[in-house]
Amino acid sequence: CNVARMQSISSMRTSAFGGASVRSQSAAAARSGIVSRSPVVVKAVQDVQGTVVSTAMKNTVVVSVERLAPHDKYFKRVRITKRYMAHNEDMDVNIGDYVRLEGGRPVSKNKKFTLAEVLRKAT
């Protein structure tokens, strides 16, 4: 009697994304041996914008870039900061400038971006 009741409860459970049961979909896919997934396309970010935080090195600036990403557990958008080293031929930028970086071939071990333009000067 309990087995029949458990089967009826599991058949009533549905996925949040469709009407069929999650367990029955995965079981059907396992039986058929074919799992169809859409291809994952990875596209590298080639342009980033951020604030200059260091100009101490020769021909190099360090730019801090912020982005919003969902938290893994709570799904609240959190601010993530990443620092990029960028090649800068003419040292015409100061700390606090808002700049745009362009991706390209690696200039050195850590420099994969070049300084494209200064969007806003620091006050």
Count of residues making up the chain: 123
Calculate mean pLDDT across residues 92-104.
Answer: 95
Cβ neighbours for 94, distance < 8 A, ≥ 6 positions apart: 52, 55, 121, 122
DSSP-assigned beta bridge partners for residue 62: 54, 85
Question: What mean pLDDT is reported for the chain?
Answer: 81
pLDDT greater than 60 at residue 83:
yes
pLDDT greater than 70 at residue 122:
yes
Give the CA-trace dihedral at 40, 41, 46, 48, to 10 degrees.
Answer: -40
Calculate mean pLDDT across residues 79-85.
Answer: 97
pLDDT greater than 90 at residue 28:
no
Other C-beta atoms closer than 10 Å to the C-beta of 107 total: 15
pLDDT band at 27 (very low <50, low <70, confident <90, very high): low
Q: How many Å is the maximal CA-CA distance in the chain?
A: 81
Unique residue bearing structure tokens 């970010």: 45
Query: What are 48-58's pLDDT values in tens digits?
Result: 999 999 999 99
Q: What is the DSSP string of 2-31?
A: HHHHHHHHHHH---SSSSS-HHHHHHHHHH
Calculate mean pLDDT across residues 94-108.
Answer: 95
